[in-house]
Homo-oligomer: A and B are copies of this chain.
């Protein structure tokens, strides 16, 4: 494969000059030379070697996308449709802006360190929910990163958040408006801060407005995954003291419906359900899922855009975006008389 020196030799200039042309360096090269060099590059099918570039310039044009390891039994990262949509948005934007993407699930801290120093990653997109001390570990590395999912209470940190509290509120309120008074909350375990905390806060607020208590027995924690939620659905089918469920992810809602159905309880006739995310599967379940809509693909793409803008020193770029949500009514909620 041709190197920059080959080009230089053929054209009869120094490697630096070729390098300047490649990187579009300002004004150092005459217009006709630019044309000749570009022509030769094309003729010889020259493509710069980014490993070499990375080595000297310390910028790799690789963005790492990491997620906390989700054991395959629990569904796995790539198999989760939410993350699939996120990745789709991220990849499209990175491609368009000339960056490469290295996806990796991270289990232990050394793995993160290896990833970073192995490849001089330019930046990191952090998806999924990491243990709470992870954020400070990450800050200790001097790599720009943007958080999706694992919120942090700081205006300065790069984040693409969602109006999660509002989402939790709207979902719950919708059920209350339809006459439901005992509403279960099902989602991954609630941490001190982050997505789930906020959705839970919204749930509590809605209940409070109707003067209803939040009851421990109504809060269920489970891993994201169809198996887990189907199992929970089977379990819940035995309880007779509630009429509705707010599930913090569509995939959970889908599993719940499936489990409830299997146990002979019908949705929405006996039990109403509201989901969260509005993924494709929300239209696949039967009944179709009433859920909180967010544009996940766009969220990934906004995250990538924000990160790259910061990397490219665009100081006017936003650091903290909150994306909108809305309630989408389909058929999984029944109005009680």
Q: Which residues of B contact A101 (CB under 8 A)?
A: 102-104
Separation in Å of the A194 CB from the closest CB of chain B? 23
CA distance A128 to B109 in the complex (A): 34
A117 within 8 A of B: yes
Instruction: Contact check, A100 vs B85: say whether CB atoms are below 8 A apart.
Output: no
Q: Which residues of B contact A105 (CB under 8 A)?
A: 91, 95
Contact of A102 among B78, B100, B254, B286 (CB under 8 A): B100
A118-B254 contact given A84-B78, A87-B78, A284-B226, CB 8 Å threshold:
no
Instruction: Contact check, B72 vs A79: say whether CB atoms are below 8 A apart.
Output: no
A19 within 8 A of B: no
A185 within 8 A of B: no
Interface flags for A104-117 (1: CB within 8 Å of B; 0: not) read: 11000000011101
Q: Which residues of B contact A51 (CB under 8 A)?
A: 51-52, 54-55, 60, 118-120
Q: What is the interface residue range for chain A against chain B?
A: 35 or more
A283 within 8 A of B: yes
Separation in Å of the A291 CB from the closest CB of chain B? 14
Interface flags for A165-195 (1: CB within 8 Å of B; 0: not) read: 0000000000000000000000000000000
Q: Which residues of B contact A311 (CB under 8 A)?
A: none
A49 within 8 A of B: yes
Separation in Å of the A320 CB from the closest CB of chain B? 25
Top-7 shortest CB links A-B: A286-B286, A78-B88, A78-B87, A47-B117, A51-B54, A50-B118, A76-B88
Given contacts A49-B118, A84-B84, 13 further A-B contacts (CB under 8 A): A47-B114, A52-B55, A72-B88, A76-B88, A78-B78, A78-B85, A79-B280, A95-B105, A100-B118, A258-B283, A261-B286, A281-B284, A286-B286
29 A–B contact pairs at CB < 8 A?
A1-B117, A47-B113, A50-B119, A51-B51, A51-B54, A51-B118, A51-B120, A52-B55, A55-B55, A72-B92, A76-B88, A77-B88, A78-B85, A78-B87, A79-B81, A79-B84, A79-B85, A91-B103, A91-B105, A100-B102, A100-B115, A100-B118, A101-B103, A102-B102, A226-B280, A226-B283, A230-B283, A254-B284, A284-B284
Chain A contact residues, CB within 8 Å of chain B? 1, 45, 47-52, 54-55, 60, 62, 72, 76-81, 84-85, 87-88, 91-92, 95, 100-105, 113-115, 117-120, 226, 230, 254, 258, 261, 280-281, 283-286, 297
